[in-house]
Amino acid sequence: MRNLSLAIVFAATTAFTQTVSAPVSAPTANTAQAPASAGSIATPTVSRTTKAVHYRLQGGSTKVDFHGTDLLEHATGEARVEGKKTHFLIDVKFQGMEDATKFGLEYLTYVLWAVSPQGRPVNLGEVTLEHGNAHLKATTDLQSFGMIVTAEPYFAVTAPGNMVVMESVAMSEAGTENIEAKYDLVSRGTYSSTNTHIQDAIFGIDTNTPLELFEARNAMRIARIAAGDKYAAFIISKAGQQLMQAESAYRQKQNKQAVEALAKETTETAEEARLMAVKQKAEDDAQAAAAAATAKARADAEAEAKRRAEAEAARVEAEKAKAEALRMKQEAEQAAAEAAQQKAEAEKARAEAIAEQQRLAEEKDKAQQAAQQAEKEKQQAEYEKQELRARLLQQLNSILATRDSARGLIANMSDVLFRSGSFELAPGARERLAKVSGIVLAYPTLHVTIEGHTDSVGSDEYNQQLSERRAQAVRDYFIQQGINAASVEAHGYGKKEPIASNDTPEGRQQNRRVELILSGEAIGTGEGEIPPQTASGSHQ
């Protein structure tokens, strides 16, 4: 059904109009941007990638499947893309969808988008729910495109938000070609109702209120947050009049189609006002930036003039210094004459110096002998380190596959030593780790770094957590065996550092591993050395 079936709904028009007229600062997004001024709305963006398909004009009908994202996992869909002479017809059906308001009060509907390989999104139309299902027909001039569905505040938005709930699936049918399409999404919070006190007006209207009327109210709210009253006063005034007409038609219980048509006109006009306000504000910001640049250039010129004045002053000081140096030279010549007189005394001192040199030479010989002895002891210590390193390598290799590296001795625990998809140590792993801990306990100065890695299957967050927990499980076991906690550290790198291709089962198995790096002065490596790229790993 087209009516809004919500547990909470907006209040009467008067209360809503008073609410949205209050200025509000835009919520902070997770992208770098200049701070938003009061009454304006920031438009930070995030990037996303999907698969676009190259269709053929007059190429018949092509079936395209949709699947829900993590936001709407149970939603599915199917589209038919039919190539005409100059454009494409799209007939799409969706099932298992939920009301968009589950993602926040600012989300009232869904929109279907076509995304070109160049990242240009095109609004194909509003996805209207009927008991969780929807049916939409649209056309597009794009020949290569992917399709996404996003939750939006109203149907007339011109750029998709980052609440992507469904995506078209890459195809392998004959005559089609999959293309990578990277596109930008408006960050969540751009249309947020936070601080606009919508929560003060969410009761009092029956659930038969058309969704189009809610979208029109939301569009007006967002246009005003974007400073539409300042930058697009005429258009937003027109939108306000249209909203009043729609509200009046609804209160008078006029024809439902008439109310919906008036509400849609309001939404489109409000979006026009928002776009004009965003554009005008950007122009004002550019002018302000130009003025700032002019002021900076003026300040730079003044600084250059000051620098030249200081340089001239320095030149005058240099001339004074030159004259002073000449005076000092004359005094030096006079001092030289006096030095000649002192030469005789110096000769006497020379004889004493020769005797002193002989004494120093004897001390030097003693020092050289001591240095040779120290070098011999150093070489012996290095030999003992290498011998210990080789012995440890042999001992570890009898337990786990181990290799020598500049970082230390690296022992590899394969994925089979953990429960499948878990960080729980298998009995065989505990037995081997017990032997390794015995070796480490025998050499208290050794330091152990534990690094967890996964293959590329699964999400980044899942793999990162799995790698960290496996590494931590090994660290906890070592500490249980009596190894000093300060001598053991754990890191998780997820799928970021593969040692083989993830395209084959064998390669993925090699990538699913936990590595134990033994280092320390005793075997000739710095304790706990970690390459710079590992700094993002988990450190326990």
Query: In the predicted model, is pLDDT for residue 539 greater than 60?
Result: no
**End-to-end alpha-carbon separation of the chain, Å?**
54
pLDDT of residue 188: 67
**Each residue's pLDDT tens digit, 209-242:** 888 888 888 888 888 888 888 888 888 899 899 8
Q: How far apart are CA 405 and CA 414, in angstroms?
A: 19
pLDDT of residue 269: 93
Nearest to 427 by CA among 477, 482, 490: 477
Query: In the predicted model, is pLDDT for residue 30 greater than 80?
Result: no
With cut-offs at 50, 70 and 90, classify the pLDDT of residue 139.
very high
Structural domains of the chain in order of their starting residue, each with its CATH number: 13-27+36-282 (no CATH), 385-536 (3.30.1330.60)
Query: In the predicted model, is pLDDT for residue 189 greater than 80?
Result: no
pLDDT of residue 474: 94
Nearest to 222 by CA among 211, 232, 208, 207: 232
**Each residue's pLDDT tens digit, 462-483:** 999 999 999 999 999 999 999 9
**Each residue's pLDDT tens digit, 401-448:** 899 898 999 999 887 777 777 888 888 888 989 999 998 998 888 999
Q: Which helix (H) or strand (E) holds 481?
A: none
SS3 content of the chain, % helix, strand, coil (to 5): 45, 20, 30
Query: In the predicted model, is pLDDT for residue 380 greater than 70?
Result: yes
pLDDT of residue 89: 95
Query: In the predicted model, is pLDDT for residue 174 greater than 70?
Result: no
With cut-offs at 50, 70 and 90, classify the pLDDT of residue 536.
very low
pLDDT more than 70, % of the chain: 83
Q: How far apart are CA 489 and CA 482, in angstroms?
A: 14
Query: In the predicted model, is pLDDT for residue 16 greater than 50?
Result: no
Q: Which of 51-55, 72-76, 79-83 has the lowest mean pLDDT?
A: 51-55
pLDDT of residue 95: 95
With cut-offs at 50, 70 and 90, classify the pLDDT of residue 43.
low
Residue 67 tokens, joined: 């699947």
With cut-offs at 50, 70 and 90, classify the pLDDT of residue 387.
confident
**Each residue's pLDDT tens digit, 318-375:** 989 999 998 889 888 888 888 888 888 888 888 888 888 888 888 888 888 888 877 8
Q: Residue 455: exposed, middle, or buried by beta-carbon count in 10 A (0-12, 13-18, 19+)?
A: buried
Query: In the predicted model, is pLDDT for residue 166 greater than 90?
Result: yes
Query: In the predicted model, is pLDDT for residue 270 greater than 70?
Result: yes
pLDDT of residue 205: 43
Nearest to 2 by CA among 165, 150, 126: 126
With cut-offs at 50, 70 and 90, classify the pLDDT of residue 142.
very high
Nearest to 74 by CA among 41, 44, 48, 97: 97
Nearest to 498 by CA among 451, 535, 455, 536: 455
pLDDT of residue 534: 39
Q: Are 52 and 181 in contact (CB under 8 A)?
A: yes
Residue range 475-503: average pLDDT?
Answer: 94
Q: Are 126 and 157 in contact (CB under 8 A)?
A: no
Q: Which of 81-85, 155-159, 204-208 has the lowest mean pLDDT?
A: 204-208
Nearest to 507 by CA among 518, 499, 519: 499
With cut-offs at 50, 70 and 90, classify the pLDDT of residue 386.
confident
Q: Could you tell me which residue, 525 or 389, shows the higher pLDDT?
A: 389
pLDDT of residue 526: 64
